[in-house]
Amino acid sequence: MEKTKIISVLAITAALAGVSLAQGAWNPSSYTLQIAPPHPNSTEAITLTLSGQWPDSCVPVGSAISVVCNDILWDIQLDMSDHYCLQVISSWHQTRTLDPLAVGVYRVRIRPVEDGFLPIPYFTIGTFRVSPPPATTEYGFLPEQSILTISGGIAGMMFTCPVWGSFRLTVDPASESARFDSVQAWYERLDPLGSDKRDLGELFRMTELVGKRISPTQIEFTGKTEQPVDQDIKLCLTFKGDRVRLTGGFPPSGTCCDFIFYELDAWAQTDRPPCQFNLAGDLNDDCKVDLADLAIFAADWLIDCILTPDNPACIAK
């Protein structure tokens, strides 16, 4: 009897407020929002999944979603059936897929809806960013400005090896990552006894390196040499207009006194000629304003050098 009274009081209170008992059970702060892919770009469909625990067995039965400017409005349909709801905590989830969205930051806002009752205000449950799609550029090494220095060993040798060839660089603004592929590059070790042409991509295992943007104009690539030596590889790529500079290498390899150093300092250029114009918004000096410039701009979005002067992007004038 006491339980019936409590439910009746709740029902009267909910009715006076214009909401249902099911809406009264709505607790968005306890729900989880999942976004796939986690770092979407403007060419990818986006799947949103909302899940959580419901106080009884009458879990939400459907949903409808719409995009208004940068708000994703998600109406969760509550169970309107007249069957008895078991008083057990029940898991539930709703999933919806969105077509590709424009570049920007989006809020996901949810609310419960039930026929015959006034809708309650939307609640912001999460935000996510849609970035430009990955950009791929092909570069060719400039042999007159590209060398690999090999030094060390018991005899204290030093070889300066010319570098030539090409590679593709793909930068993903969404995940701030980068990768090499289609590496067709070589270095040539010259000595009085003859020359020895070798594969630069294999030496640095370039297609296996993990690239991470560390500033608007720099990407750091890291990896490991082949077993059994297992040395750390670290290369830094710096953008300069239509060129990039690739520096770094890996520490000594070998045993005892037979340590060998590999140090790369190479410039590569795209097929495009240098830009002869000052174009506002052309942040990478390639004579056009496109998604690549937007990616550079987005990398520094909301960085405050007064509040966080130690941020790597804050370079003193």
Per the listing, tokens 């029940």 go with 90
pLDDT over 70 percentage in the chain: 77
Q: Is the pLDDT of residue 99 over 70?
A: yes
- Condensed to tens digits (0 to 9), the pLDDT of residues 34-84 reads 999 998 989 999 999 999 888 888 888 888 999 999 999 999 888 766 667
Q: Can you tell me the mean pLDDT for 291-297?
A: 71
Q: Can you tell me the mean pLDDT for 15-31?
A: 54
Same structural domain for residues 141 and 266? yes
Q: Residue 20: which pLDDT band, with cuts at 50, 70 and 90?
A: very low
In a domain, 122, yes or no: yes
Q: Is the pLDDT of residue 114 over 60?
A: yes
Same structural domain for residues 13 and 76? yes
Same structural domain for residues 140 and 229? yes
Last-in-domain residue among 130, 157, 180: 130
Last-in-domain residue among 75, 101, 130: 130
Same structural domain for residues 9 and 92? yes
Residue 193 pLDDT: 56
Number of domains in the chain: 2
Same structural domain for residues 103 and 160? no
Q: Residue 255: which pLDDT band, with cuts at 50, 70 and 90?
A: low
In a domain, 107, yes or no: yes
- Condensed to tens digits (0 to 9), the pLDDT of residues 155-196 reads 667 788 999 999 999 998 888 899 999 999 999 877 655 567
Residue numbers of the domain that contains 117: 2-130
In a domain, 281, yes or no: yes
Q: Residue 98: which pLDDT band, with cuts at 50, 70 and 90?
A: very high
Same structural domain for residues 11 and 118? yes
Residue 242 pLDDT: 84
pTM: 0.62
In a domain, 317, yes or no: no
